[in-house]
């Protein structure tokens, strides 16, 4: 039997998305970081090399990563698959920045404190802590390996001196506590100074333990492990505005968790059909409303967004609002369903708008208008003529993320050739910048880049045929209140700052 193009696409898409879960058959290298600032473009400030000795769950503060030989960064042979950054996330104040990689590691950067002598270094981020969050596992029931790759990281608002964050791989969500310790207890009664147990017969006096100063140490400890609740791969986690619950979404289901309960979750969305042969779409991303704890959205591989209200029913299979843009029949092709799949969905900070990213565009939706987006931005429309080759090398299935700036006036997303795009919603201007180590010199301004589609190519332009599709910006983050952005390019992390800050 020969499948029609659309049916063939869904079979192919679902196999790539769900992988073998629904199939019928059933020493770390260093990470490098570059920071910079600029106005309209970006200026390189310094280059850091992140140590990844993560066998210990802590890292002492006296390690000065800036003293590591920067010439090592020019050697590309050290990078492995495990070093590729898979998620980037600022905390709520922007003082910390967490990255996760395919090796299951989490590296946290802390912002440099401003001083009178080094005012210009306020935007720099140095290594704060690094730890192993997830380990590779094996599902013996399905005879499948579970990767240690960190899919998402989400920070919880800081309530005390410690920091808390959620990290997840394909199956398990973990709650981590990151805290500082600069004192240690001394004067135990039952132990000697070296920590060995003493003979009770030799203890003749009662001593009161005292706290002694020690070198500052940052410790990361797992406080909760939320496991065994997802049959398919987790693609999203989102902390609720009540800060008591969070949700985790896989390809077919969304579960609601309480932070204090690890052995039970509540299924709030289930789109799995009775017969998997009838599967036509999968969940690609989900997020809670920033202010209303009862509202959330999730997107699908068919390019639709559903807004759900948990007050309506316990199971939110019936959406409250349905956002979809009708497709122009004249533009329909074999790749239409694939490129319309939404890879990321984000509420604006105000909660009024939703931003979605598909393969070629970024769209902004008003919650009060469901039939079409109010804004559409072309990210790399010049790739329409290359969809066939992008399909053959699987790049057409890349999942690009998108982010808002603190005031919801500018949006940012990534592209290929280490390009990332910014769109100003007020002036309708856009800029293409490149996160490249080759053309970055200390405090050198990076010029905007342009892609030439055909005809004569100017000196400062790059031909679309010369783009490197192995270099892609999938993960980005924006400081919650300032013009500071973080861009992940393979195993490199670039942090740029607006010059006016």
pLDDT score for 461: 84
Residue 67 pLDDT grade (very low, low, confident, very high; cuts 50, 70, 90): very low
pLDDT score for 199: 84
% of the chain beyond a pLDDT of 70: 80
CB 411, CB 362: distance < 8 Å: yes
pLDDT score for 207: 81
Residue 436 pLDDT grade (very low, low, confident, very high; cuts 50, 70, 90): confident
Query: DSSP class of residue 127?
Result: E
Mean pLDDT of 18-23: 42
pLDDT score for 9: 46
Structure tokens at 34: 């570059």
Does the pLDDT of residue 27 top 70, yes or no?
no
CA distance 263 to 268: 16
Structure tokens at 51: 């140590």
Residues in the chain, how many?
501
CA distance 449 to 132: 37
CA distance 66 to 27: 22
Alpha helices in 287-360 (DSSP H): 336-340
* Beta bridge partner(s), residue 295: 309
Mean pLDDT of 395-418: 96
Q: Which of 39-43, 341-345, 473-477 has the lowest mean pLDDT?
A: 39-43
Residue 30 pLDDT grade (very low, low, confident, very high; cuts 50, 70, 90): very low
- From 341, 175, 141, select the one nearest 261 (Cα to Cα): 175
CA distance 492 to 59: 21
CA distance 83 to 419: 20
Does the pLDDT of residue 101 top 60, yes or no?
yes
94 vs 54, residue with greater confidence: 94
CB 401, CB 413: distance < 8 Å: yes
Which residue's entry shows tokens 């967004």?
305
In order of their start, the domains of the chain are 42-49+79-498 (2.130.10.10)
CA distance 417 to 471: 5
CB 289, CB 245: distance < 8 Å: no
pLDDT score for 37: 34
Structure tokens at 126: 């140095």
Which residue's entry shows tokens 């987006």?
373
CB 33, CB 492: distance < 8 Å: yes
- Quick one: how far is CA 406 from the chain centroid? 17
494 vs 295, residue with greater confidence: 295
CA angle (102, 105, 106) in 5-degree steps: 120
pLDDT digits (tens, 9 = 90+) for 112-154: 876 545 555 566 888 999 999 999 998 887 788 899 999 999 9
Does the pLDDT of residue 385 top 60, yes or no?
yes
CA distance 322 to 315: 16
**Which DSSP string do the residues of 368-431 spell out, in sequence order?**
T--SS-SEEEES-GGGGGGHHHHHHTTGGG----EEE-TTSSEEEEE-BTTEEEEEETTT--EE
Structure tokens at 436: 């490249």
376 vs 6, residue with greater confidence: 376
Query: DSSP class of residue 113?
Result: P
Structure tokens at 350: 């105000």
Beta carbons within 10 angstroms of residue 488's beta carbon:
28
pLDDT digits (tens, 9 = 90+) for 159-190: 999 999 999 999 999 999 999 888 877 778 88
**In sequence order, what are the residues at sequence separation of 6 or more whose Cβ sits closer than 8 angstroms to the Cβ of residue 238?**
154, 246, 247, 249, 286, 287, 288, 296
Does the pLDDT of residue 48 top 80, yes or no?
no
Mean pLDDT of 203-231: 87
Residue 196 pLDDT grade (very low, low, confident, very high; cuts 50, 70, 90): confident
β-strands 461-463, 450-452 pairing = parallel
CB 360, CB 382: distance < 8 Å: no
Does the pLDDT of residue 460 top 60, yes or no?
yes
**In sequence order, what are the residues at sequence separation of 6 or more whose Cβ sits closer than 8 angstroms to the Cβ of residue 321?**
306, 307, 367, 370
CA angle (425, 428, 430) in 5-degree steps: 100
β-strands 31-38, 492-498 pairing = parallel
Does the pLDDT of residue 69 top 70, yes or no?
no
Q: How many CA atoms lie within 13 A of 417 on its CB side?
A: 19
Which residue's entry shows tokens 């590691």?
105
Mean pLDDT of 411-430: 94
CB 281, CB 299: distance < 8 Å: no
pLDDT score for 287: 98
Residue 39 pLDDT grade (very low, low, confident, very high; cuts 50, 70, 90): very low
pLDDT score for 331: 78
pLDDT score for 122: 60
Structure tokens at 321: 């609002």
CA angle (353, 358, 362) in 5-degree steps: 45
Average pLDDT of every residue of the chain: 82
% of the chain beyond a pLDDT of 90: 58
Does the pLDDT of residue 49 top 50, yes or no?
no
pLDDT digits (tens, 9 = 90+) for 295-337: 999 999 999 999 999 999 999 989 999 999 988 887 788 899 9
Q: Which of 165-179, 280-294, 392-406, 486-500 has the lowest mean pLDDT?
A: 486-500
Does the pLDDT of residue 380 top 60, yes or no?
yes
């Amino acid at each position: 039997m020969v499948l029609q193009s659309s049916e063939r696409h869904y079979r192919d898409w679902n196999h790539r998305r769900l992988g073998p879960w629904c199939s019928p058959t059933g020493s770390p290298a260093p990470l490098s970081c570059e920071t910079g600032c600029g106005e309209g473009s970006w200026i390189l400030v310094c280059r850091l090399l992140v140590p990844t000795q993560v066998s210990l769950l802590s890292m002492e503060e006296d390690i000065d990563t800036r003293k590591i030989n920067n010439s090592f960064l020019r050697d590309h042979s050290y990078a492995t698959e495990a070093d590729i950054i898979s998620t980037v996330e600022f905390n709520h104040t922007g003082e910390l920045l967490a990255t996760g990689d395919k090796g299951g590691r989490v590296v946290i950067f802390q912002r440099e404190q401003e001083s009178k002598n080094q005012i210009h270094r306020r935007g720099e981020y140095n290594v704060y802590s690094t730890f192993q969050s997830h380990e590779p596992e094996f599902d013996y029931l399905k005879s499948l390996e579970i990767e240690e790759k960190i899919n998402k990281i989400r920070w919880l608002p800081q309530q005390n001196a410690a920091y808390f964050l959620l990290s997840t791989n394909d199956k398990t969500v973990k709650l981590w506590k990151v805290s500082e310790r600069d004192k240690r207890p001394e004067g135990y009664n039952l132990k000697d100074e070296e920590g060995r147990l003493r003979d009770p017969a030799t203890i003749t006096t009662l001593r009161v333990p005292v706290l002694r100063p020690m070198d500052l140490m940052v410790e990361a400890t797992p406080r909760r492990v939320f496991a065994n609740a997802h049959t398919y791969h987790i693609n999203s986690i989102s902390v609720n505005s009540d800060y008591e619950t969070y949700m985790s979404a896989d390809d077919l289901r969304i579960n609601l968790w309480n932070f204090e309960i690890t052995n039970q979750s509540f299924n709030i969305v289930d789109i799995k059909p009775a017969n998997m042969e009838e599967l036509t779409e999968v969940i690609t991303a989900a997020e809670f409303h920033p202010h209303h704890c009862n509202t959330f959205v999730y997107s699908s591989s068919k390019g639709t967004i559903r807004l759900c209200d948990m007050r309506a029913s316990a199971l939110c299979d019936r959406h409250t609002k349905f956002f979809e843009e009708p497709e122009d029949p004249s533009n329909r092709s074999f790749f239409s369903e694939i490129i319309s799949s939404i890879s990321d969905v984000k509420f604006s900070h105000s909660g009024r708008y939703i931003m979605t990213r598909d393969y070629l565009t970024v769209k902004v939706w008003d919650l009060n208008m469901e039939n079409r987006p109010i804004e559409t931005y072309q990210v790399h429309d010049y790739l329409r003529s290359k969809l066939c080759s992008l399909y053959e090398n699987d790049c057409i299935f890349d999942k690009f993320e998108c982010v808002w700036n603190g005031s919801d006036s500018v949006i940012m997303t990534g592209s290929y050739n280490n390009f990332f795009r910014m769109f100003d919603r007020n002036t309708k201007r856009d800029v293409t910048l490149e996160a490249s180590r080759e053309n970055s010199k200390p405090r050198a301004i990076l010029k905007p880049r342009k892609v030439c589609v055909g005809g004569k190519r100017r000196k400062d332009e790059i031909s679309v045929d010369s783009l490197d599709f192995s270099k892609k910006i999938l993960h980005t983050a924006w400081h919650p209140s300032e013009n500071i952005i973080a861009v992940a390019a393979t195993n490199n992390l670039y942090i740029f700052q607006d010059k006016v800050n």
